[in-house]
Homo-oligomer: A and B are copies of this chain.
Amino acid sequence: MSFVTIERKVLEKNDEIARQNRALLSKHGLFSINLVSSPGAGKTTLLERTFAELAGRLRVRVVEGDVQTDIDAQRIAKLDVPVVQIVTNGACHLEAKLVQDALTQLDLRGAELLVIENVGNLVCPAGFDLGEDLKVVVVSTTEGDDKPLKYPAMFRNASVLVINKTDLLPYVDCDLAALRQRALQINPSLRVFETSCKTNAGIPEWCRWLEEQVRAKK
């Protein structure tokens, strides 16, 4: 029982700091997303394509979360996007305090979009509010079409689903209609995008939606 109590305290503390993060981001008029997925679903590549598409259109900041490396932050920095890396040293998800610390390292003035790329994990990050406006869950077609059934908390807590690597559909067992339907059964208000970072399919639509959210936040 003591474990449960402490777990609850950890979450309460997290929620309080998430509120502080949300207030800070609102003060700057920043629209923010918390990008979650399995390892290797293509979050960082999606960001590379997104920032290439949005170059000159949106001022972006990025917080990268990783268990051990700064590989992803290096990739984002190459695009001249200001980025801070959080290394969790083994922890399986980002918490609001880590993001709060990361935000002190970024110049938020004039920024319009903040992307927090979470640790690759379809389970644990679902329960931790970081102060973002909404969660975006990325699923790769190579993971099959049953992931919403198997990891429902993530799909319930997300506002947007990006089905990525659609270029691989001819080669994998993934029924796109079934994947969509299963996700929408869990969360009927999910906004769904289908993207390929190889062919750029769906990237313009996704970017237009991001721009709309940024304008609505201002």
Which residues of chain A have a CB within 8 Å of any CB of chain B? 2-3, 6, 10, 38-40, 66-69, 71, 90, 92, 119-124, 140, 142-144, 146-147, 149-153, 165, 167-168, 171-172
Contacts and interface: CB of A to CB of B under 8 A. Distances in A.
A12 to B, nearest CB: 13
A123 B124 contact: yes
Contacts of A67: 123, 150-153
Identical subunits present: 2
A49 to B, nearest CB: 13
A120 B66 CA distance: 18
Given A3-B6, A39-B38, A71 B168 contact: no
Contacts of A147: 39-40
18 contacts: A2-B6, A38-B38, A38-B39, A38-B40, A39-B147, A67-B123, A67-B151, A68-B149, A68-B152, A71-B146, A71-B149, A92-B121, A120-B150, A120-B151, A121-B121, A124-B124, A142-B168, A168-B172
Nearest to A66: B150
Contacts of A151: 39, 67-68, 120
Residue in A38, A71, A124 with the greatest tally of chain B CB atoms within 10 Å: A38
Given A121-B92, A171-B171, A39 B143 contact: yes
Contacts of A10: 3
Residue in A119, A122, A165 with the greatest tally of chain B CB atoms within 10 Å: A122
Nearest to A3: B6
Across the A-B interface, the 5 shortest Cβ-Cβ residue pairs: A40-B143, A92-B123, A142-B142, A38-B39, A38-B38
Given A38-B38, A38-B39, A69-B146, 15 more contacts: A6-B6, A38-B40, A38-B120, A39-B143, A39-B147, A39-B150, A40-B142, A67-B123, A67-B150, A67-B153, A92-B92, A92-B121, A120-B122, A120-B151, A167-B171
